[in-house]
Amino acid sequence: SENESLIANQANHIVVWSNHEKESLISLFQVDPEKISIIPPGVDIEKFYERDKKYCREYLNLSLENRIILFVGRLERLKGIDILIKVMSIIETSNTQLFIVGGEGNTPEVKRLKDLAVKLNVREDILFLGSIPQDELVYYYGSSDICVLPSYYESFGLAALEASACGKPVVASKVGGLSSIVLDGKTGYLVNWKCPGPFQEKIEVLLNNELLREHLGRNARIHSESLTWDNSTKKLLNLIKKITSSVTLK
């Protein structure tokens, strides 16, 4: 919009979360690249860390036999949860459940997703858990086998970072800031296509290979340790010092 363009060009400096957002500002509003800094948000690695899966499942009273795919985020169309529900209808790995964390009550989007699950005969394999406090959320990350974010658009993807810090491989769309969190083939997989088939392929590879899940999960934890709130804060403070020292006092 005109107002956004005005703000973007009159600001002394702009902080964005990802390279994707930086490129958008340059292409949409012709902002000088020198005026833009990428400082991603962080994760609390002391709260989100690798927990024993068996312990977490017992804590939440979940079966040890099932394979659990976890989605965490707002329940909006752009989050692509419909892709995950379609994956559940074609998945060949037995005893697989999808846990959907986020959203409140029976919004139109929740109703749409539940109706889709019923239509595809997978409603009993999907748990809509609503919003869960962080102190409990860590046990859901710990209980899961993989975390999946099939977003059509994502500015950053904090859930992918939280899952990584918990030592879980992440399968995510190759959009927005997710590319900076999920390192394809190292900490999880990035999927180019916004349709169920390619997601199903990567999900099943991970669900059926415990050693691979553990290997990618360890890498994910290591990568998350470079994306902490401490690092974000230091970068922001350094930027503020740099900007304020270069401003000429009148």
Using alpha carbons, select from 103, 102, 99, 152 the residue that is nearest to residue 127.
99
Share of the chain above pLDDT 70, in %: 98
Q: Name the β-bridge partners of 226.
A: none
3-state secondary structure of 100: strand
User: Token pair for residue 97?
Assistant: 């459940």
The residue among 122, 236, 221 whose CA lies nearest residue 167 is 221
Q: Which two tokens stand for residue 1?
A: 């919009």
In angstroms, the CA 113 to CA 142 distance is: 25
| Radius of gyration in angstroms for the set of CA atoms belonging to the chain, rounded to a whole number | 20
> Are the C-beta atoms of 65 and 94 separated by less than 8 Å?
no
Predicted confidence at residue 250, as pLDDT, reads: 43
What residues in the chain have per-residue pLDDT under 70?
1, 247-250
Distances 56 to 53, 63, 86, 145 between C-alpha atoms, Å:
5, 11, 27, 12
| Whole-number Å distance between alpha carbons of 144 and 48 | 13
> Which pLDDT score, from 0 to 100, does residue 155 have?
83
pLDDT at position 58 is: 98
